[in-house]
Each structure stands twice: as C-alpha cells, then as structure tokens.
Amino acid sequence: MSAPVGNRDRQEKASRMRHALVDQMVEEGWINDPVIEAAFRRVPRHRFMPEVSLEAAYSDTQVITKRDAADVSLSAVSAPWLQAHMLAEAGLGPGKTVIEVGSGGCNAAYLAEIVRPHGHVITSDIDPFVTTRATRFLADAGYDDRVTVILGDGRQGVPGLPDGGANAILVTVEAPDISPAWIDQLTEGGRLVVPLRIHGYTWAIGFEKHHGLLKSRSFRVCKFVPMQGIGVQQDTTVELRGGEVRIVFTEGRPPDADGLEEALDTPRHEQWTGITVPGGVSTDRLLLWLATTLDGFCRLGVHPDRDTGLVARPKGWDAAALVRNRSLAYLLSRNIHTDASGATTWEFGVHSFGTHAEVLAQAMTQQIVYWGRNLRHSEAPLLTVYPAPTSGSVPCPVRVLAKTSSHLSFDWPSTSAANSPRKKEAEG
C-alpha cells in the first residue's frame, strides 16, 4: 500500500530540505568528508524532533526537546554544523565501535551510518524520558538494529564493550570535567570529543589518547545542555546590586569575592590596550588565553532589565573578568573605526573597580597585549589531560587547571618561563 498523499508530500519536502541543508554545510565548509556528507543526506533528521516544523528541524540551529520548570534546557538536538564538526573530530570509519554520552537518537543515527556495516554504536543517557524517545525514534527511522540505547550515567562508562574498548567517545552534553571512565574505555589512539567547560566557557575539544593521557589542539566554542547527575559540579554565582551584576565562578566562590558590592561604589578605572581586531573576527582564543593565565578569572554579566549603566553590559557571551583583593576588572571593546564599506575595527579595553582597580586592569591589559602581539595568529595551545591527583611531575606550562577528576595542562606556543607575562607579573 502506498503512503497517503499528505505523508508523501511531507517526505518529499523533508528530503528537499535535508539536501539543501547539506549543500549549505558543504559550501560553508562544515562538511568536507564524503562519509559524513552521506550520513547527513541519509538520516531523516526531522523524525528525531517531531514536535517542531520541518523548517526548524532542517535549520542550522539547535532544537530544544526538553526544559525544566525554570525553562532551563535539559535535552536538545545540536545544530547540524556542530554535529558535523564533532563527527569529523571523532575520526570514525566502517567497523568502529563508538560510545555516545547524551542521547536523543539523531546523532546516534549519523554515527551508525558512518561505522556501517559492521560498526557498533552505544548511546546512553541518564534521563529515561530521553532514552525512551531515542529508542522509539531510532526504531521509526530504521536504526534500532544498529544502535544500542542504554539508560545510565554516562560518566561511569557503559557495559558490554568489545575487547579493546571504544574507538571513539562522543559526549553531547556540557561536561564540567573529564571522567576517568572515558579514558579507561577508550582504545589507544582513540578519540574523545567532548564539550568541556573551562572557566564557564564551553569548548568542543577533540582529544586523542596516547599512553593513558589525552592530548588536543582542537578547540571550538559551543553551547550544549548541562550534564545531569549526582555530583556534577555547578557554577557559583554572586549577584551584586540587587541582581543587576552577576559574577560567575566555575571552581567555587573565592574569598576575594567578598567586598565586591563596596568595590562597585568606587570610581571606575578605564584602560585601553591598543590591541584591535576587525569586526566579525572570532576572538575566542583570547578568552581561552585569559581563562588559562589569570588567577581569579571569572565571568561577568549584566541583567538587561536592571541595567543602570554602572557596568558596560556585554552582548552575547558573559564578559571575561578578574576578581582579586576585593576588586573587579572585566574585558570590553569599543568601535574605533568604520570605513566606507561599513567594515569596523574594535579595540579591547578593561574597566575595573575597587581599591586595586589599576593593578587588576594592568594585569588583564598585559595578557591582552601579549595575546595580540604573539598569539592571535598562532596555533591553539596543546592541552594535555592528566588524572587527578597527578602522580609524578607535570611539564611546566603557562597554566594547569585542577578539576576534581583531572588536571588540564595548557602549553601555549611561543611562551616559556622566561618570556611569559605571567612570570613578569609575579616578579613585578
């Protein structure tokens, strides 16, 4: 029996939209692997989010599939460009075994296409609502015989792995730390692709395992729903001026946070760096540099409905900020030139408050200037993940960020103990 005309028309429309989306992603450079391209052309993406329109399903944006009572996103299907990027980072091929932490079904279907015909895909989630949906949608799309859905905490690993472990692990929820189970269940030379939170900013990082350690130079800013489960570390937020200003600390509230209300009563110190960037050019690496070189790093936001103008309100992402000695500094930018074509040039600066405002502004300015002169065109830092507590010696990079289960060692290019501005600041 043929499908009803209405269903057939919808299927044909979905097919046209799917191929148009893939054509766009190929043109924009998000897909340059024919195997990944074929997967995106085969998987009926809309079947994994039936509550939204075809237009939403085939737009290059994230689709939220579950929210809590406070309207916080708990589960989502990631934007296609980000899925394609992470699939490429996983480096998979036919016959490989892959674990997905954080389910939904759509990404698992892409993985099943990539590792076919004899590969093995295991997708897990801690939320039974999510695994029930994934199981139903995978079966509806014809992938139930190629994907195993598991209900459980993916941080603990998954049962039933073949000998040797997984060739890749893709984490599709924001992770505050690297789970030891992920390293243990990964084969030597295998890939872990994870949206890792580093001082409040989330980076999709593609690691490769060598001799029990994870290493990467691949960083891309992204946004995912937060990981759930007992023991997942949450950010600490300090609200000032009745909620007008929000300071967010990833590794807990430091003692220096006391007195920030009083700091905002002091005159604002302003310092501009002379470091400029063209409008529209990504400066994500600057945020990573500041987060990994400044003690007391945090993030600053301003509530748009309570904004009195005291603090220059950042647009989009929270501003990079620094708290020390009951004082506060934060990064901002200003448009210093617009040419006849409308192209703009922006300069980085620092605003600061408190009794140590000038010292903090100088510390942040020093790092911005160093990045602008030495690092803006260089490769990303080498990030090595060591188990915590670390046994033996760790090479002396610019920064080691200690998390509960891991130590993140950042080794930036063109830096050393002799020329690092961090060392000069300490000496001065």
- One of 53, 59, 73, 78 is an active-site residue; which one? 78
Cα 180 from Cα 282, distance rounded (Å): 32
Query: What's the sign of the alpha-carbon dihedral 231, 189, 114, 164?
Result: negative
The contacts of residue 155 (CB under 8 Å, 6+ apart) are: 101, 179, 181, 182, 227, 229
The two most distant CA atoms of the chain are separated, in Å, by: 81
Structure tokens at 138: 């995978």
- How would DSSP label each residue in 381-425? PEEEEEESSPPS-----SEEEE-SSEEEEEE-TT--TTT-HHHHH
**Angle between the N-to-C axes of helices 80-90 and 106-115, in degrees from 0 to 180, rounded to the nearest 10:** 40
Other CB atoms within 10 A of residue 418 CB: 7
CB-based contact 326:258 (threshold 8 Å): yes
Catalytic residue status for 78? yes
Cα 402 from Cα 115, distance rounded (Å): 35
Cα 121 from Cα 105, distance rounded (Å): 11
Cα 52 from Cα 209, distance rounded (Å): 39
Residue 48 region by backbone torsions, left for phi larger than 0, else alpha for psi between -120 and 50, else beta: alpha
Active-site annotation, residues = 78
